[in-house]
Amino acid sequence: MVPKITTLSGYLHEYQKSVANPTGFWANIAETFYWHKKWDKILEWDFHNPKVEWFKGGKLNITENIFERNLFLRGEQKAIIWEPNDPNEAIREFTYNELFVEVQKFANVLKKHGVRKGDRVALYMPMIPELSIAMLACARIGAIHSIVFAGFSAKALAERIIDAEAKVVITADGGYRAHKVLRLKDVVDEALTQCPTISSNIVVKRTGGEVVWNEGVDYWWHDEMEGMEEVAPAEILDAEDPLFILYTSGSTGRPKGVLHTVGGYMIYTAYTFRNVFQYSSGDVFFCAADIGWITGHSYIVYGPLLEGAISVMFEGIPTYPDAGRYWDIIRKHEVNQFYTSPTAIRSLIAEGQEWVQDVNLPSLRVLGTVGEPINEEAWHWYHDHVGDNRCPIVDTWWQTETGGIMISAIAGVIPTKPAFASLPLPGIQPLIVDSEGNKLCGKGVQGNLCIKFPWPGMARSHWGDHKRYVESYFSQYKGLYFTGDGVKRDEDGYYRILGRMDDVINVSGHRLGTAEIENAINEHPLVSESAVVGFPHAIKGQGIYAYVVCTSIPKNAEEELKNSIKIGVSKMISPIARPDQIQFVNGLPKTRSGKIMRRILKKIAAKSTDYGDISTLTNPEIVEEIIEGNHKLIK
Ligand code: PRX
């Protein structure tokens, strides 16, 4: 197991060590894993011609580090406890031994379908154990999984399958979400009409709903698993071989396939999991994220299972069948560490005090949040009512690209402050710069958050587009990784994340590119142009505000048109990208070079009155008109 920091002086000591000798620091941690062959070189890196390689030449398989490494001690211990959407349905549990058998059987199924090392497999699945089994089976044979959150549309799924040239897709007939049944196979069927690289679609029977069956392409999971050989030797990979691709939004149109590699990601997720949450053997850890996002990859599956943890996986939502569902799960499974998002917390606050009034959760020791800045009110509610004033909150700042947690308190070790992510973890060297790239040293500064030295969990590239990777993170400030976030460092040296500085908006912890949403809006036949910005939203953190210019608006049909634009966005991307507000405008404020001045649009949507300098606009008169329209729309 990885070493665990247990005191503040221990943290300070480890942090110093990790900065003075980063390669020695990470090599010591890497030694605790199982390698077929030790690495040739600990680290090779360059942030000017960006390239990062950790433990190159080291040979391993991440699933051997989950299974073979843990089995002697924990073969009969639970690995996954699955809690269904409907609390009356039976829970499913897998010991490490049982999970290992399922993973190996499914690895053999994948092989039977022609999947080999380096091939891509797309997963479009509900939160059921088969999702974890499928991803680990890919890792077992060296295939690269690309999980697409099961709320994305057929078009968004097809785009991701095409970009990754996936060979096999895995889905379910459907999924449950509160009262709703999601017809996942229908979405996959529609996507597959555009995806010539897919030869097999393996379907888990979850809901038993009617599905259209495509002979020669569709295969039932249970049929394929029936009688399958229970042993699948691990494919031995290089530390720098890809482990997975996960698509996320950036400031330009297309989603980008963030690429993580085996060795560094393994070490980083295990280390951060054990330390941030102070996991001890036998604890029950519950991360309420969806595996379709990075949080689920790193802290439902890889981090916990590498560390031999018991990981709770939940299919449903926090308000079904009622707003006490999380607390019921925590009580039922005696959860020790609970990890969720500020949006989930705010949505529970909105449900009323009665759900937490007498909630008594003695098993809880640590609370975590992730995905967006947590406001102080939500922090206190979480701390006082859920954590009974005794559980530390770890406000964990990180990104799809960072692989694991970067800035966070270590539970019970680093003192916390509401709304502050607090201090960098060992191995992480943040740097704050102003817009010209000048370093802002010392305390009490505010600027753009960069990282100046590589860490093992960082993304290595974008699938098939290294140039875009370089442009996305390394082009703004020479020699630094730019996170896209604004940050403030206070007098105690604590970091407070202020949110995105680029054209990315964070809606309920989901990251969306404004350009991506605009592209979808512009597809509407009556739309000629649009600009999308985020605006403060009481529950979601940020809502989506779209300024839309139409060629014509049919008389008395404004609302209808707004609805059809919203439906269009849901279909093109996902319901999570659906605008909260649409304002029809006659034009957008533009600079002389034709660029939309979003700064002003953001201010108007946020009801701020300080618009800054508008003299460089070609059409300053439009601003007044837009403000007036906004007042009418939102009183
Ligand atoms: O803006 C930051 C915000 O979420 C972004 C990363 O989004 P994504 O790649 O989808 O990963 C989310 C889960 C790790 C960041 O650039 N963010 C994430 N965690 C926090 C946060 N903002 C403030 N506080 C956090 N704890």
> Residue 541 is part of a domain; what is its CATH number?
3.30.300.30
Measure 537 CA to ligand 1 centroid, in angstroms. 17
Single out the residue of 330, 334, 375, 337 nearest to residue 356, CA to CA: 330
537 three-class SS? strand
Atom 7 of ligand 1, nearest CA residue: 399
- CB distance 425 to 414 below 8 Å: no
H or E stretch at 310: strand 310-314
Burial track 362-389 (b if 16+ CB lie within 10 A, e otherwise): eebbbbbbbbbbbbeebbebbbebbbee
For residue 627, tell me if it sits in a domain. yes
Q: 466: number of CA atoms within 13 Å, CB side? A: 5
Q: Is the pLDDT of residue 184 over 90?
A: yes
Beta carbon of 395 within 6 Å of any ligand 1 atom: yes
The span from the CA of 314 to the CA of 91, in Å, is 10
The span from the CA of 349 to the CA of 278, in Å, is 27
- Domain encompassing residue 571: 504-634
Measure 305 CA to ligand 1 centroid, in angstroms. 23
For residue 444, tell me if it sits in a domain. no
User: Which is it for the CA torsion 339, 344, 175, 298, positive or negative?
Assistant: negative
The pLDDT score that the predictor gives to residue 180 is: 96
For residue 251, tell me if it sits in a domain. no
- CB distance 110 to 123 below 8 Å: no
The pLDDT score that the predictor gives to residue 243 is: 98
Single out the residue of 387, 371, 351 nearest to residue 379, CA to CA: 387
- CB distance 577 to 621 below 8 Å: no
Phi-psi region of 607 (alpha: psi -120 to 50; beta: other; left: phi over 0): left
Judged on CB neighbours under 10 Å (0-12, 13-18, 19+), 604 is buried
Dihedrals phi, psi of 482, to nearest 5 degrees: -100, 130
Beta carbon of 295 within 6 Å of any ligand 1 atom: yes
Atom 11 of ligand 1, nearest CA residue: 399
Q: Looking at the 3D structure of the chain, how many domains does it have?
A: 1
Classify residue 502 by its DSSP letter: S
Mean per-residue pLDDT, 457-479:
97
Beta carbon of 294 within 6 Å of any ligand 1 atom: yes
Q: Is the pLDDT of residue 10 over 80?
A: yes
Q: What is the DSSP string of 315-358?
A: -S-TTSS-TTHHHHHHHHHT-SEEEE-HHHHHHHHHT-GGGTTT
The mean-pLDDT minimum among 109-118, 298-307, 353-362, 462-471 falls in 353-362
Beta carbon of 398 within 6 Å of any ligand 1 atom: yes
Single out the residue of 338, 268, 336 nearest to residue 306, CA to CA: 268
Beta carbon of 500 within 6 Å of any ligand 1 atom: yes
Beta carbon of 420 within 6 Å of any ligand 1 atom: no
The span from the CA of 172 to the CA of 270, in Å, is 29
- β-bridge pairing 120-123 and 168-172: parallel
pLDDT class for 572, splitting at 50, 70, 90? very high
For residue 542, tell me if it sits in a domain. yes
Ligand 1: residue of 375, 511, 516 to mutate (most ligand atoms within 8 A of CB) is 511
Mean per-residue pLDDT, 57-65:
98
The span from the CA of 117 to the CA of 505, in Å, is 36
For residue 541, tell me if it sits in a domain. yes
- Report the amino acid identity of residue 326: Y
The span from the CA of 66 to the CA of 302, in Å, is 8
The pLDDT score that the predictor gives to residue 358 is: 83
For residue 180, tell me if it sits in a domain. no
For residue 67, tell me if it sits in a domain. no
Q: pLDDT digit string (tens) for 602-616?
A: 999 999 988 888 888
Beta carbon of 292 within 6 Å of any ligand 1 atom: no
The span from the CA of 111 to the CA of 116, in Å, is 7
What Cα–Cα distance (Å) separates residue 494 from each residue in 272, 394, 395, 490, 491? 19, 13, 12, 5, 7
The pLDDT score that the predictor gives to residue 252 is: 74
In the numeric block, which tokens belong to residue 274?
């054990």
Tokens 């505010």 belong to which residue? 446
Atom 24 of ligand 1, nearest CA residue: 373
Beta carbon of 371 within 6 Å of any ligand 1 atom: yes
Q: Is the pLDDT of residue 251 over 80?
A: no
Count of all residues that appear for the chain in the document = 635
- β-bridge pairing 200-204 and 218-220: parallel
Ligand 1: residue of 298, 372, 473, 502 to mutate (most ligand atoms within 8 A of CB) is 372
Across all residues in the chain, what is the average pLDDT? 96
Q: Is the pLDDT of residue 560 over 80?
A: yes
- The answer to whether the pTM exceeds 0.75 is yes
For residue 510, tell me if it sits in a domain. yes
Work out the widest C-alpha separation in the chain, in whole angstroms: 73
Tokens 């202020």 belong to which residue? 498
Atom 8 of ligand 1, nearest CA residue: 399
CA dihedral 91, 224, 163, 515 (to 10 degrees): -30
Q: pLDDT digit string (tens) for 302-345?
A: 999 999 999 999 999 999 999 999 999 999 999 999 999 999 99
- Report the amino acid identity of residue 470: V
The span from the CA of 156 to the CA of 165, in Å, is 14
- CB distance 228 to 105 below 8 Å: yes
Start-to-end C-alpha separation, the chain: 57
Provide the 10 A C-beta neighbour count for residue 7: 11
Measure 485 CA to ligand 1 centroid, in angstroms. 9
